[in-house]
Amino acid sequence: MIKFETFTLPNGLKVIFHPDKTTPMAVVNVIYNVGARDENENRTGFAHLFEHLMFGGSKHIPNFDAPLQLAGGECNAFTNNDITNYYDILPVQNFETALWLESDRMLELAFTPKSLEVQRNVVIEEFKQRYLNQPYGDVWLELRPMIYKTHPYKWATIGKNIEQIAGASMEDVKGFFYKHYSPENATLVIGGNLESAEVKAKVEKWFGDIPARERYLRNLPIEPPQKEAREKIIEREVPSDAIYLAFRMAKKTDPEFYTADLVSDILGSGNSSRLYENLITEKKILTQVSAYVTGGWEDGLIVISGHLQDEVSLEKAEEEIWAELDKIKATPIDKRELTKVKNKFKTVKVFSEQPILNRVMKLALFDQMGTLDEVNDELSRYDAVSSEDIHQFVNTKMQKENSTTLKIKAKS
Partner 1 sequence: MNRKEAPEYLQAKDLPLILPEEIELQNGVRLFWMKDVKDDSVKMEVLWDAGTKHQQKSLQASFTNKLLLSGSKERSAKQISEALDYYGGYVQKELDKDHAGISVYGLNEHIADIFGIIQNALATVSFEENELQKELSIGKNRFKVDTQKVNILSRRAFTKQLFGEDAPYGQVAELADFEQLKREDLLAYYDRFYYQSPVIFLTGNVSQAFIEVLRTWSVNFRQEEIVMKKQQFSPTIGRVDVPKKEALQSAIRIGRLMFDKKHEDYYPFQLLNTIFGGYFGSRLMTNIREDKGYTYGVGSGMSVLADAGYLFVATEVGSDVKELAVKEIYHEMQRLQTELIPYEELEKVKNYMLGEFQRNADGPLSMMEMFKNIYFNELPKTYYSDFIQAIHQVTPEQLRTLAEKYLQQDEMLEVIAG
Residues within window 178-207 making contact with partner 1, judged by CB under 8 A:
205-206
Measure the N-to-C terminal CA separation of the chain; round to a whole number of Å. Answer: 53
Near partner 1 by CB under 8 A: residue from 16, 30, 36, 71: 71
According to DSSP, residue 298 is labeled: S
Quick one: which segment of 166-174, 212-220, 275-283, 364-372 binds partner 1 (CB under 8 A)?
A: 275-283
What Å distances lie between residue 217 and 38, 66, 146, 331, CA to CA?
10, 35, 27, 45
Sort strands 403-410 and 230-236 into parallel, antiparallel or unpaired.
Answer: parallel
Binder among 215, 335, 336, 411 for partner 1 (CB under 8 A) = 336
Footprint of partner 1 on residues 381-400 (CB under 8 A)? none
Binding mask 276-305 for partner 1 (x = CB under 8 A): -x--xx--x--xx-----------------
Contact 35/370 with Cβ under 8 angstroms?
no
**Closer to partner 1 by Cβ: residue 92 or 250:** 92
User: Which member of 79, 97, 226, 405 binds partner 1 (CB under 8 A)?
Assistant: 97
| Closer to partner 1 by Cβ: residue 70 or 323 | 70
Minimum distance of partner 1 from residue 41's CB (angstroms): 25
Among 9, 13, 15, 25, binds partner 1 (CB under 8 A): 25
Q: Are 75 and 191 in contact (CB under 8 A)?
A: no
The footprint of partner 1 on residues 102-161 (CB under 8 A) is 104, 107, 117-126, 128-130, 132-136
Per DSSP, the three-state class of 28 is: strand
* Contacting partner 1 within 353-372 (CB under 8 A): 353-356
Nearer to partner 1, 136 or 216 (CB): 136
Identity of the residue, 47 or 312, whose beta carbon is nearer to partner 1 in the bound complex: 312
Residue 36 or 89: the one with the smaller Cβ distance to partner 1 is 89
Report if residue 272 touches partner 1, rule: CB under 8 A: yes
List 28, 54, 89, 199, residue binding partner 1 (CB under 8 A):
89
Count of C-beta atoms within a 10 Å radius of residue 130? 12
Identify which of 229, 352, 244 has the alpha carbon closest to the alpha carbon of residue 290.
244
Instruction: Give the footprint of partner 1 on residues 205-244 (CB under 8 A).
Output: 205-206, 209, 237-240
3-state secondary structure of 223: coil
**Cβ–Cβ under 8 Å, residues 301 and 294:** yes
Residues whose CB is less than 8 angstroms from the CB of residue 4 and which lie 6 or more positions away in sequence, other chains included: 16, 17, 18, 363, 372, 375
Residues in region 306-335 near partner 1 by CB under 8 A: 307, 309
Minimum gap (Å) between residue 9 Cβ and partner 1 = 15
Question: Is 347 a binder of partner 1 (CB under 8 A)?
Answer: yes
In angstroms, what is the minimal distance from the CB of 94 to partner 1? 4
Q: Tell me the number of residues near partner 1 by CB under 8 A.
A: 80
Minimum CB distance to partner 1, residue 151 (Å): 28
The answer to whether 267 and 274 have CB atoms below 8 angstroms apart is yes
Q: How far is the CB of 57 from partner 1 (least distance, A)?
A: 11
Q: What angle do CA 320, 321, 322 make, to 5 degrees?
A: 90
Note whether 22 binds partner 1 by CB under 8 A. yes
Which residues are 337's β-sheet partners? none
CA distances from 147 to 4, 155, 394 (A): 38, 10, 19
For residue 50, give the nearest of 85, 100, 12 by alpha carbon. Answer: 85
> What DSSP designation does 151 have?
S
Nearest CB to partner 1, comparing residues 8 and 288 = 288
Angle at alpha carbon of residue 167, lines to 166 and 171, rounded to 5°:
125
CB of 85 to partner 1, least distance (A): 17
* Binds partner 1 (CB under 8 A): choice among 6, 8, 40, 59: 59
Query: What backbone torsions phi and psi does residue 308 show, to the nearest 5 degrees?
Result: -90, 145
Q: Contact with partner 1 (CB under 8 A): which of 90, 199, 262, 275?
A: 90
How many angstroms separate the CA atoms of 287 and 277, rounded? 11
E strand residue ranges, 92-227? 186-192
Residue 344 binding partner 1, by CB under 8 A: yes
